[in-house]
């Protein structure tokens, strides 16, 4: 299945901003984080299709998956 992965803030350094990835069925959000070499402790927010999700959430064909570090502002 194909999933678009988007990275933000310093997670982009040495990686990418946006990438389409071919993934096996059943891939979880957490697996992608691990594969990218991102420490789960540094992850602040995960979103699939503009909704918050968890490391355990299973990705689906056509999903847009966004990974953010811990950030804030206001």
Partner 1 sequence: MADKIFRVNMTDLSTSIEDVPADWAGHGGRGLTSNIVATEVPPTCHPLGPNNKLIFAPGTLSGTAASNSGRISAGAKSPLTGTIKESNSGGTSAQRLAKMGCKALIIEGQPKDDSWYSLSLTPEGVTITKEEELIGKGNFSVVESVEKRFTDKIGILSIGQAGEMQMTGANISVKDPDSHVRSLGRGGLGAVMGSKKIKFIALDAQDGKVEIADLDAFRAANKAFTKALVDHPVSQALGTYGSNVLVNIINEAGGLPTKNFSQGQFEGHEQISGETMHDLIVERGGKPKHGCHSGCVIQCSQIYNDIKGNYKTSGMEYESIWAMGADCTIDNLDQIAEMDSIMDDIGIDTIETAVAFGVAMEAKVLDFGDAVEMTRILREEIAKGTALGRVIGNGAGSVGRTYGITRVPVVKNQAIPAYDPRSIKGIGITYATSTQGADHTMGYTIATEILGVGGTADPLSKEGMVELSRGLQIATAAIDSTGMCLFIAFAALDDETCLPALIDMINARFGITLVAADVTNLGMSILKTEHAFNMAAGFTNLDDRLPEFFETEPVAPHNAVWDFTGEEIDTFWNF
Q: How far is the CB of 38 from partner 1 (least distance, A)?
A: 13
49 vs 27: CA distance, rounded Å: 16
17 vs 45: CA distance, rounded Å: 16
Q: Binding to partner 1 by residue 19, rule CB under 8 A?
A: no
Using the rule CB under 8 A, give the single segment among 4-12, 25-33, 55-63 that binds partner 1.
4-12
**Binder to partner 1 among 10, 34, 35, 62 (CB under 8 A)?**
10
46 vs 54: CA distance, rounded Å: 7
Q: Binding to partner 1 by residue 60, rule CB under 8 A?
A: no
């Amino acid at each position: 299945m194909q999933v678009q992965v988007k990275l933000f803030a310093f997670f982009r350094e040495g990686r990418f901003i946006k990438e389409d990835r071919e993934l096996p069925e059943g891939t979880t959000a957490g697996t992608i984080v691990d594969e990218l070499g991102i420490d789960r402790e540094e992850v602040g927010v995960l979103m699939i299709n503009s909704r918050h999700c968890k490391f355990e959430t299973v990705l689906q064909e056509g999903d847009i998956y966004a990974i953010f570090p811990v950030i804030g502002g206001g």
